[in-house]
Amino acid sequence: MIKVIQPPNKIRTAYEDFLGSFQIAVEEAAGEVFVPDRPVGSSFTDSGRSTVEFKRCLYLRGLPSRRLSRSKRLDVIVMGLEELEKGTGTTKDLWTLRKSTVRLNYIVVSNATGRLAQSLHFDFDHAGQVDHPFFHVQLTDEQIPVHEYPTKDLDFEWQLPTERNECCVTTRIPTSDMTLTSVLYCLAADHLSGDIFKQFALKVGSIQERLPPLRFEALKNSIEKASFHFRSSHWFAHKDEGT
């Protein structure tokens, strides 16, 4: 049985306020947002590793896109999975973010058929991963399983490729520290009109200080040591044996 864990109120409400503001902004742009039936607070659960897991899937239907013709529609599935570490002792209220993986599926819908146009995920692990940049986006061809969708109300049939893409799944591009909230912020910037995005940005600006900070020890060590990184010392943990 999954055990729901309540993080400090400022963290729970930060996630609630950000996700709520994002939904309002998308709906103001004439899009639809499908979310799980359970409240945001119930998405914090015991990971079984002395940490707390946050998992949330969003289905954005009809996200504005200047590149598509009027006969086509852009849907986006967002799956966020983050791992938070609880503080102890005198720092019991200081929760930090140890891991974050945010998966995106861009689906072009036309004539009741959905085509996976782009799949990617943003990834971070505080300890670093062998042969991985600390923060990176990976281009893939992976479909987020339909059973993860927060709604079964699909008005299209999937048209999946007959063969796996043999190239893009190997591509990892270093990025800034992209977590669930920053990925959604970028989606809003990319697809919502200037006025709607401006109001959204103003509304969520103060939320950032309530979100759990990222664990940066390994990254800090990599930056401080003059390792052999071809001027990307802050990206690749595996090049520094001390991490």
CA distance 66 to 17: 28
CA distance 32 to 105: 16
Q: Name the nearest CA neighbour of 203 among 9, 28, 5, 2.
A: 28
**Distances, alpha carbon 3 to alpha carbons 34, 48, 53, 93, in Å:** 24, 10, 10, 20
- The per-residue pLDDT for range 52-79, each reduced to its tens digit, is 999 999 999 999 998 899 999 999 999 9
Reading the chain (243 residues) residue by residue, the pLDDT tens digits are 679 998 889 999 999 999 999 999 999 999 999 999 999 999 999 987 789 999 999 999 999 998 899 999 999 999 999 999 987 766 677 899 999 999 999 999 999 999 999 999 999 888 777 777 788 899 988 999 999 999 998 999 998 777 777 676 677 888 888 999 999 999 999 999 999 999 999 999 999 999 998 887 776 766 666 555 555 545 555 444 544
